[in-house]
Amino acid sequence: MLRPLIMLAILVIWLTPHPVGAHAFVEHAEPRVGQKVKTSPSVVRVWFDQGLIGGRIRIENAAGQEIVSSINCLSSHDKYLLEIVIPQPLPGGDYHVYYEADDVHTHTTPGDHFFFVESEGTVAKPVTLTE
């Protein structure tokens, strides 16, 4: 009598729906990966191709000095998006974006890319994080 119940329990657990999807890949970024922008961006965004539960972004200048970082960059309205506000207009130069994205299975995807600000300028748009 016990054996059929154990088998049934195993089957029920096994058949319980689980979210599917794996390996969050970068979909695109803004500024784009390797892009030269004329003025400082106000927000750096990285979109992924599957849902996230969290993520971190750190931005460094060409000298390796931290410009800004956050360990809670998941957009409040878009589960595919990590974003971080640039607090002040960036001077001209190379900027290195590091990120880690935690997908719905807590699988962490690391990555990084550069973008280039051509000259010092004002923030292109008012700072708006998506809500």
Residues of this chain that bind other proteins (CB under 8 A): 3, 7, 10-11, 14, 16, 18-26, 28-29, 32-35, 49-51, 56, 58, 71, 80, 94, 98, 100, 103, 105-108, 110-114
Distance (Å, whole) CA 73 – CA 101: 9
Minimal distance in Å, beta carbon 57 to other proteins? 10
Minimal distance in Å, beta carbon 56 to other proteins? 5
Cβ neighbourhood burial of 14 (10 Å; 0-12, 13-18, 19+): exposed
Residue type, 116: F
Q: How far is CA 27 from CA 20, 34, 45, 46, in A?
A: 18, 14, 11, 8
Nearer to other proteins, 71 or 127 (CB): 71
Nearer to other proteins, 46 or 90 (CB): 46
Please, what is the Cα angle at 76 between 24 and 32, to 5 degrees? 50
Nearer to other proteins, 23 or 125 (CB): 23
Minimal distance in Å, beta carbon 63 to other proteins? 13
